[in-house]
Structure 1
Amino acid sequence: MLAASLVLAGCSPPPERVEQLLVFGATAEIRLRGADPEAAQAALAELSAELNQRHREWHAWQPSDVTRINEAFAAGQAAEAPESVLELVRLAKPLSEATDGLFDPAIGGLVEAWGFHTSTYPILTPTPRDEVLAAWREDRPRIAGVQIQGRQLRADNPRTQLDFAAMAEGVAASQVVATLQRHGVHDALVNLGGDVSALVGKGSPPWRVALRDPYGGVMGTVELGNAESLFSSGNYNKFRYSAAGARQAHILDPRTGQPARGAASVVVLHTDPVLADVAASALFVAGPSGFADLARRLGLGCALMVTDENELLVTVAMNARVTLARDPVSLGPPLDLGPACTAPPSP
């Protein structure tokens, strides 16, 4: 159960059909309302094949196209890549630049060093040695150094190891929504491991989802309209413990080589699921001190952060959309980035 993991009933919705698929190591749930049975069946069959194919292409540590490419990079060689991986690289480069490298899918080697290439949590292996992290920072790989040459990928740094976990669910969600629409399904909720994208048909109520509280239970609820996505990052699901007993999230800060500090949970609501996914991770890395600046630069009208001191940072538009079940300590008035969830970026 992640941030938007609970789907709450709306008022008098059409009958639902619920399907579950295992993808990216987690359960994907697709809820359909009032869909034509034949169209729904065709869409779900196509989605099952698509998502399993992406799993085989994108997985960061089980045998996949990405692991094969990473092996080639480590040997200083180029590698042929499927179109879906080429597209991930194309999408990642401008997003990494926009976040000043706080999001960078070239740091898979660092993720592995911290033990986060696993499905078993919490992590109990030793932390990387200081000299290992120092060497990594000295020669940090970047997605900007990955070049597309026809159907091949080449990295300028043999330390480059691709790991698209911070954007894979956003990209998959956009593909799932497009497939549903192509089959005439226009009222659905796509839940990929707790991150959700909504389609709301004409005359249907919005989808109401719950926000997971990083300190336990439900923090609040949000209603999602058509073509809206809600993505989150937090320290409550994939983590390890520091020597002092504090939780260390699986989200790493490329600047330090250490787990990101300061945030307990970040939630982003946007019409672009890829941006929402990337932004949730990047804001988590930015922490409380960098929240306002990065949210403004990314044009995020709807975002919130709960810090590891149980404090709340929230934008004006998000504050209007979320109904909180409790009141974290406010770190100031809501950040005014406009009244809508897709506020224009600052000049």
Structure 2
Amino acid sequence: MALWRFDAIGTRWDIETARELGEDERAAVDAVIERFDREWSRFREDSVVSSLGGGGSAELPADAADMLELYRELSEATDGAVNPLVGAGLSALGYDASISLVAGAARPAPQDWQDILGWTERLTLTEPAAIDVGALGKGRLVDLVRAELAHIPGNLVVDASGDLAVRGAAVRIALEHPFDARRAIGVATIADQALCASAINRRAWGDGLHHVLDARTGMPVRTWAATWAIADDAMHADAAATALFFDGGAELAARWGVEWVRMSTDGRAQRSSGCPVELFTAAS
């Protein structure tokens, strides 16, 4: 397998293909990532979502309907804990466009977000707010990159630092322990599927501050330390991995046919009944 390693959207990417990608093929992948980042990154002043921060409308991005309709399901399943207008809450705690990591007062996201954010003919905000699609956006982008490389024959792995999609032969993936990166809590085996992970030790700063917020309070979650979800596509796996931090997440995963593992902050592990994971730690 040929390996192409690069950095994009603030994370490391590894793309493994049966043959080395040509210059034009790499450029096509770069263009997919650049387009998505230019539309959805709240860390870019020139992005579509940044331009809407004060309210207004913009041309509808190609992925808006698919992602925001999935957000509707996430929000309903978690009683409002997952919300695409959580961006202001992340910024308030220091995870802002400049990555200041200087925390202020918690800022809950508006619970009437579906009245504020529209995505029919155009992407609209009827009042100032900050769109953040981090609950499923990286998974969506992994799917887009995988689709861009669909013409490449043989096995394929698209890995965006923990959010990955596999085509072809089975791959074994270690599940990193959230409290000790040198250890794994288990190993997943997947083929022609996607696996996405989320953990409170990633994008963490300050005293107990991290990127997984409860939109209802604007505060980081405290019960679960890490989640892993396996689905047919990375967007649903990423969305389920986020939902599993909250009540209702396991039930939503079951409706979607997603298998999962999660570890609590006190070290207990849970898993879905059909999850293809060998756990090294006791499951509750």
Q: Paired residue for 1:161?
A: 130
1:67-117 alpha-carbon deviations (Å, 9 max, x no partner): 01223x1xxx33334334455434433443344433211221111111123
Task: Check whether the contact 1:233–1:284 (CA below 8 A) recurs between aligned residues.
Answer: no
Q: Secondary structure at the match of 1:92?
A: helix
Q: Paired residue for 2:82?
A: 103
Distance 1:322 1:82, change over 3 A: closer
Q: Quick one: distance in 1 between partners of 2:15 and 2:149?
A: 10
Q: Quick one: distance in 2 between partners of 1:327 and 1:285?
A: 22
Q: Paired residue for 1:207?
A: 171
1:153-188 alpha-carbon deviations (Å, 9 max, x no partner): 2224x243111112111111111111111x233411
Matches within 5 A, 1:293-308: 293-300=251-258, 302-308=259-265
Q: Secondary structure at the match of 2:37?
A: helix
Task: Check whether the contact 2:93–2:209 (CA below 8 A) recurs between aligned residues.
Answer: no
Q: Secondary structure at the match of 1:78?
A: strand
Q: Paired residue for 2:118?
A: 147
Q: Secondary structure at the match of 1:44?
A: helix
AA of the residue aligned to 1:255: R
Matches within 5 A, 1:210-289: 210-216=174-180, 217=182, 218-226=184-192, 228-242=193-207, 247-286=208-247
Cα offset, 1:126, TM superposition: 3.1
Q: Secondary structure at the match of 1:185?
A: coil
Pick the structure with more helix per residue: 1
Higher alpha-carbon Rg: 1
AA of the residue aligned to 1:234: A
Q: Secondary structure at the match of 1:153?
A: strand
Number of residue equivalences: 281
Task: Check whether the contact 2:227–2:263 (CA below 8 A) recurs between aligned residues.
Answer: yes
AA of the residue aligned to 1:309: D
Q: Paired residue for 1:24?
A: 9
Task: Check whether the contact 1:268–1:276 (CA below 8 A) recurs between aligned residues.
Answer: yes
Distance 1:225 1:119, change over 3 A: farther
AA of the residue aligned to 2:231: H
- TM-score, normalization by structure 1: 0.73
Q: Quick one: distance in 1 between partners of 2:138 and 2:40?
A: 11
Identify unmatched segments of 5+ residues in structure 2.
none
AA of the residue aligned to 1:196: L
Choose the corresponding residue for 1:115, options 70, 94, 106.
94
- What's the C-alpha RMSD, in Å, of the aligned pairs? 2.5
1:129-162 alpha-carbon deviations (Å, 9 max, x no partner): 6xxx4xx46x545145312352x22224x24311
AA of the residue aligned to 2:51: R
Q: Quick one: distance in 2 between partners of 1:141 and 1:70?
A: 17
Percentage identity across paired residues of the two chains = 25
AA of the residue aligned to 1:125: V
Q: Secondary structure at the match of 1:316?
A: coil
- TM-score, normalization by structure 2: 0.88
Pick the structure with more strand per residue: 2
Distance 1:186 1:92, change over 3 A: farther
Distance 1:185 1:47, change over 3 A: farther
Cα offset, 1:223, TM superposition: 1.6
Cα offset, 1:277, TM superposition: 0.5
AA of the residue aligned to 2:125: A
Q: Quick one: distance in 2 between partners of 1:154 and 1:291?
A: 28
Task: Check whether the contact 2:86–2:218 (CA below 8 A) recurs between aligned residues.
Answer: no
Q: Quick one: distance in 1 between partners of 2:250 and 2:62?
A: 35
Q: Paired residue for 1:175?
A: 144
Identify unmatched segments of 5+ residues in structure 1.
1-15, 332-347
Task: Check whether the contact 1:188–1:199 (CA below 8 A) recurs between aligned residues.
Answer: yes
Task: Check whether the contact 1:65–1:81 (CA below 8 A) recurs between aligned residues.
Answer: no
Distance 1:276 1:143, change over 3 A: farther
Choose the corresponding residue for 2:105, options 116, 128, 136.
128
